[in-house]
């Protein structure tokens, strides 16, 4: 969680211009497009990085990130803020296991996409669920994110030591039928998810803002990603998700996200409004 920085006395109009110029520079230099992110959130994160870099102005931050890739990587980490955990929202995963997975059982092969996967815990959770339902050997999971740093962590499959108990509890509440510890190896005092799960997951860089669809999926997770976007950008991402979903496929959004009020609302059937699970009907 990024704390609200103590901001200096600043001309609001100048500040907005500087932020727009910084985001335009980031897009042109590195190809990451944050220009349509919600302004209050992006402003807070930019000031946090400006403060951490011990700079006085956003213009100075722009100069640094344009000429220093490591400084840009630090800013990127602040802008994307990965938040995830194994079997996050266990009740949703239980409902997925009990109601959605049976609808996928008849398929000869299942493709799932975790868009904005952060450090990969959600993708590994789905892999474990599919394994327990006897489907992992005929499934391929794609876990994508804008952050190369997050993807490196995801590929390693290392679990934070202080969160293992929470993950085991989430797993049980999500309807897990095995022993969560059996899905991990201990390596130099750390727990790492077994390589057999990582082998079924393709980790790749993908930008929801600028990149196109790359496959057809039967299950798409895009949870708590679009809450940071403005309405124009949300509509664009919904277009991408819709085009990427097979007929009869399922879309799972975050608790504060919905397909309602988009041009695609009539093209989905709501399967569970509480857990934001929708099925593409046309």
Which pLDDT tens digit goes with each residue over 73-83?
Answer: 899 888 886 67
pLDDT at 3: 54
Residues 98-136, buried b or exposed e (16+ Cβ, 10 A)?
eebbeebeeeeebbbbbbbbbbbbbbbbbbbbbbbeebb
Model pTM above 0.95: no
CATH 3.40.50.150 intervals, the chain: 90-280
Tokens of 135: 């489907």
Rounded mean pLDDT, 203-217: 93
Question: In CATH, what number does 90-280 get?
Answer: 3.40.50.150
Q: Convert the pLDDT of each residue in 214-270 to its tens digit.
A: 999 999 999 988 887 888 889 999 999 999 999 999 999 999 999 998 999 999 999
Rounded mean pLDDT, 9-17: 86
pLDDT at 117: 93
Q: Mean of the per-residue pLDDT values for the chain?
A: 92
CA 253/CA 152 separation, integer angstroms: 24
Rounded mean pLDDT, 151-177: 94
CA angle 23/221/80 to nearest 5° reads 25
Task: Tell me if 155 sits within 8 A of 198, measured CB to CB.
Answer: yes
Q: How confident is the model at residue 131 (pLDDT cuts 50, 70, 90)?
A: very high
pLDDT at 82: 67
Side by side, the strands of the sheet bearing 139-145 are 201-205, 139-145, 110-115, 217-222, 245-253, 277-280, 268-272
Tell me: pLDDT of 10 over 80.
Answer: no
Q: Convert the pLDDT of each residue in 47-68 to its tens digit.
A: 999 999 999 999 999 999 999 9
Rg over alpha carbons for the chain, rounded to the nearest Å, is 20
């Amino acid at each position: 969680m990024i704390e609200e920085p103590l901001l200096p006395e600043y001309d609001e109009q100048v500040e907005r211009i500087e932020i727009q110029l910084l985001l335009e520079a980031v897009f042109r230099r590195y190809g990451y497009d944050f220009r349509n992110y919600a302004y209050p959130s992006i402003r807070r994160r930019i000031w946090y990085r400006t403060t951490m870099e011990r700079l006085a102005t956003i213009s100075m931050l722009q100069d640094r990130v344009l000429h220093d890739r490591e400084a840009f990587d630090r800013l990127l980490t602040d802008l994307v803020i990965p938040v995830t955990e194994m079997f996050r929202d266990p009740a949703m995963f239980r409902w997925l296991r009990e109601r959605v997975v049976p609808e996928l059982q008849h398929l000869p092969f299942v493709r799932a996409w975790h868009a904005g996967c952060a450090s990969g815990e959600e993708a590994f959770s789905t892999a474990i669920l599919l394994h327990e339902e006897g489907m992992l050997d005929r499934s391929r999971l794609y876990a994508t994110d804008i952050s190369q740093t997050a993807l490196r962590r995801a590929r390693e499959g290392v679990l934070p030591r202080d969160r293992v108990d929470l993950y085991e509890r989430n797993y049980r509440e999500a309807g897990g039928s095995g022993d969560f510890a059996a899905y991990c190896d201990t390596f130099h005092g750390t727990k790492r998810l077994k390589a057999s799960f990582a082998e079924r997951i393709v980790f790749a860089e993908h930008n929801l803002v600028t990149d196109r669809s790359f496959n057809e999926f039967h299950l798409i997770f895009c949870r708590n990603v679009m809450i940071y976007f403005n309405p124009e950008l949300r509509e664009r991402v919904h277009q991408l998700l819709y085009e990427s979903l097979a007929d009869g496929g399922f879309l799972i959004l975050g608790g504060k996200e919905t397909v309602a009020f988009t041009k695609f609302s009539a093209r989905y059937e709501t399967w569970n409004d509480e857990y934001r699970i929708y099925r593409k009907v046309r």
